[in-house]
Amino acid sequence: MFFHPTAVVDPGAQVGAGTKVWHFCHLFATCRIGENCVLGQNVMVADGVVLGNNVKVQNNVSIYTGVTCEDDVFLGPSMVFTNVINPRSAVVRKNEYKTTYVERGASIGANATIVCGVRIGAYAFIGAGTVVTKDVAPFALVVGNPARQIGWVSEYGHRLHPDANGHATCPESQQQYLLRNGAITRIA
């Protein structure tokens, strides 16, 4: 493990082997961070947050209570999670935090906003600046405000182009995918 001298790690925070925590990060007491993660400059991980193994969190990301990220998730620079649907300064809503779940291998681009209470499917790709207000399917490529699906991506993050039979091949890995009934799955 590596902790930059400016990082604040509250007693009780669980951090896995091989994880690097850079400048001006703050890890709250009941967060759990897996092995081989990288937390860039100015990252805040609140109480109750769970990050799996090999999660990459770029600079200026706050991960609020209610967020869980599985293994191999990428959180781009300055992306935003929320945890309350209707925040007000004068109204305490800490008992109304919504759960946001990011499945294995998903990537969230720079400056994207994830409104609380959604599930982002495995290997989904959220484009830079996208505003996600509802669940995102596994392998889906979404962009815009509000997010709209414009295609599918492979586990390696390449755009998939299913043929007339629904078959697609990742150009980098050569992994095979099948589009059926509005969902894509890896078949080889």
What's the pLDDT at 69? 98
- DSSP for 134-161, please give it: S-B-TTEEEETTTTEEEEEE-TTSPEE-
The whole-number average pLDDT for the span 173-185 is 97
**Mean pLDDT over all residues of the chain?**
97
What's the pLDDT at 188? 84
Percentage of the chain exceeding pLDDT 70: 100
Output helix, strand, coil percentages for the chain, rounded to the nearest 5. Answer: 0, 35, 60
Whose CA is closest to 77, among 62, 55, 99? Answer: 62
75 beta partners: 57, 108
What's the pLDDT at 179? 98
Q: Is the pTM of this model over 0.85?
A: yes
- What Rg do the C-alpha atoms of the chain give, in angstroms? 17
What's the pLDDT at 94? 87
Q: 82-110, pLDDT tens digit by residue? A: 999 999 999 999 889 999 999 999 999 99
User: Is the pLDDT reported for residue 25 higher than 90?
Assistant: yes
Superfamily of domain 2-85+98-159: Hexapeptide repeat proteins (2.160.10.10)
What residue segments make up the domains of the chain, in order of their start?
Answer: 2-85+98-159
Residue 84 CB-density burial (10 A; 0-12 exposed, 13-18 middle, 19+ buried):
middle
Q: 30-70, pLDDT tens digit by residue? A: 999 999 999 999 999 999 999 999 999 999 999 999 999 99
Is there a contact between 159 and 152 (Cβ–Cβ < 8 Å)? yes
